[in-house]
Amino acid sequence: MAASLLLIPAIISAQVGDARSRLAVGINGGINMSKVSFNPTIKQSNLNGLNGGLTIRYTCEKYFSTLCSIQLEANYSQRGWKEKIEDNDNTYQRTINYLEIPFMAHLSWGKEYRGMQFFLNAGPQANMYISDKEEKGGGTWDASTRPNHVTAQYGKAVDNKFDYGIAAGAGFEFATKLGHFTLEARYYYGLGDVFGATKKDYFSRSGNSSTIVKFSYLIDLTK
C-alpha cells in the first residue's frame, strides 16, 4: 500500500504534457462584419469596419499532439449596424468604435516550429467604448416609412460604455524562421447591450455581434 502511494506523484507527473515557455508578440489586422441584435427588430445588412491591434501569446505546454497557449489581444474595433431601408432611398448606419480585449485559450495542432498548424481560439472578451458616428443619406430623410416603425435608435446616444461577450475562432498558422503568419475567422457574440434594456427603455435587446477575418504576424521573444 505504501509503495502504491509513493507511485501516485510519478503517475500524475507522467500524465502532464511537455512543458513549454515560449512568448510571442506581434500585430494583427482585418475586417469586422457587424450587426446589432435588436428587439424590436431592425432590418440590417453587415456593416464593414476595421479590426486590428497587438497580440501576445504564451505557449505553456504540449499535451500529446496539442500545443496549449493563452492569447491576449488589444485591438481597435469598428462595430455597429447598417440598416436595410426598402421603402425609399434613405441610408443609415451607426459605427461604434471600441477598444477590445479578448483573452483566449489557443489550441493548435501540426508542425510546432516550422510548417503549418491548425488552431482554435476561444474565450471571454471585454470592450470599452471610444466613440460613435451616425451617417444618414439618400436625400430627404423620412423615418416614418420604416417597415416596423422602429425609430428610437436615431440620434440616441450609446448608453453602455462597457460591452462584454464571448469570442471563438479557427484558422491556420504558418511558422517560419521569420515568425508566425496566421489567418483566422472569428465570431464575437455580445452578452451586453448598446442601449439601456430596462423596462422603461425602448429596446429590450441591442447586442453586438460580428464575424472577423484577420491576419496576424508574431515573432518569438523566448523559445
What CATH number was assigned to the domain covering residues 19-220? 2.40.160.20
Instruction: Show the cell assigned to 16.
Output: 502532464
Mean pLDDT score across all residues of the chain: 91
Q: What pLDDT does 16 receive?
A: 62
Pairwise CA distance, residues 70 & 59, whole Å: 7
pLDDT band at 11 (very low <50, low <70, confident <90, very high): very low
Q: What pLDDT does 144 receive?
A: 78
The number of residues in the chain equals 223
User: pLDDT for 57-83, tens place per residue?
Assistant: 999 998 899 999 999 999 999 999 999
Say how many C-beta atoms besides its own lie within 10 A of residue 205's C-beta: 14
Q: What pLDDT does 12 receive?
A: 42
Give CA angle at 120 (206, 125), nearest 5°. Answer: 35
Rg (CA), the chain: 23
CA distances from 121 to 106, 151, 160, 186 (A): 5, 37, 27, 8
pLDDT over 90 percentage in the chain? 77
* Mean pLDDT value across residues 205-214: 97
* Mean pLDDT value across residues 87-105: 94
Pairwise CA distance, residues 113 & 223, whole Å: 10
* pTM of model > 0.85: yes
Instruction: Show the cell assigned to 44.
Output: 440590417
Side chain identity, residue 28:
N
Bigger pLDDT: 194 or 3?
A: 194
Q: What pLDDT does 143 receive?
A: 80
User: pLDDT for 168-185, tens place per residue?
Assistant: 999 999 999 999 999 999
Instruction: Show the cell assigned to 90.
Output: 434613405
Q: What pLDDT does 7 receive?
A: 46
Side chain identity, residue 220:
D
Q: Do residues 188 and 35 lie in contact, with contact meaning Cβ atoms separated by under 8 Å?
A: no
